[in-house]
Amino acid sequence: MASTNDLKNGMVLNLDGKLWSVVEFQHVKPGKGPAFVRTKLKEVLTGKVVDKTFNAGVKVETANVDKRTMQFSYKDGENFIFMDMDTYDQITVEPGVVGDAAKYLLEGFDALVAQHDGAPLYVELPAAVELVIAETEPGLQGDRSTGGTKPATLETGAEIQVPLFVTTGEKVKVDTRDGSYLGRVK
């Protein structure tokens, strides 16, 4: 249990049996009436964001979420197997929990895995990863109908848009949040 006065960004609360992460909060002391805390909460499992207001000093239940950096080992059927590099314990994570991060996962990549009571909640990759272009068409000089980009397939199978000068076999940096091309890796 914690007081609403102790809220911090990233803290996970257990409200009505659901886990909510504090995205932002603001203590408000109006000229008239009691103080309150205005928060923006994100549901951990679905990603839904809501605004919620608490009276100042009210007790809220916090959830113990264990966030660890783990290495992606392999894919077992549909499930993903991650290994804790400190204890060498392996955990199985379902595809729904991995979500869009699966598009940019290669064996040996490190990811942040959050667990609550031993159950994986979500997988978070670094903001950018380096991947090799598996296949892309050659870019034609003067072909600007697509704004100077062309589709390219990464070694993970994900498809992104890259500039015309990028060729098959090159290593590129990709933003894992939106799948955008960030640049070539030398």
Q: Residue 23's domain is classified under what CATH number?
A: 2.30.30.30
pLDDT score of 148: 77
Clarify whether residues 96 and 132 are in a common domain. no
Give me the numbers of helices (H) and strands (E) for the chain, helices first please: 1, 16
Buried (b) or exposed (e) across 67-95, using 16+ Cβ within 10 A?
ebebbbeeeeeeebbbeeeeeeeebebee
Q: Tell me the average pLDDT across 168-184.
A: 89
Distance CA 159, CA 149 (A): 12
pLDDT score of 174: 92
Mean pLDDT score of the chain, rounded to an integer?
86
**Can you read off the two tokens belonging to residue 152?**
């390219």
Which of 124, 155, 174 is the C-terminal boundary of a domain?
Answer: 124
pLDDT score of 153: 92
- Give tens-digit pLDDT for 113-156: 888 887 888 888 888 889 999 998 887 666 555 567 888 999 98
Find, among 116, 139, 128, 113, the residue nearest to 171 by Cα.
128
pLDDT score of 116: 82
- Give tens-digit pLDDT for 66-124: 888 899 999 888 899 999 888 888 888 888 888 888 888 888 889 888 888 878 888 88
**Can you read off the two tokens belonging to residue 88?**
């060498």
pLDDT score of 83: 92
Clarify whether residues 116 and 152 are in a common domain. no
Distance CA 128, CA 180 (A): 10
Distance CA 150, CA 80 (A): 30
**Can you read off the two tokens belonging to residue 33?**
């009436």
pLDDT score of 172: 92
* CATH number of 98's domain: 2.40.50.140
* Domain region containing 21: 2-60
Which of 20, 42, 60 is the C-terminal boundary of a domain?
Answer: 60
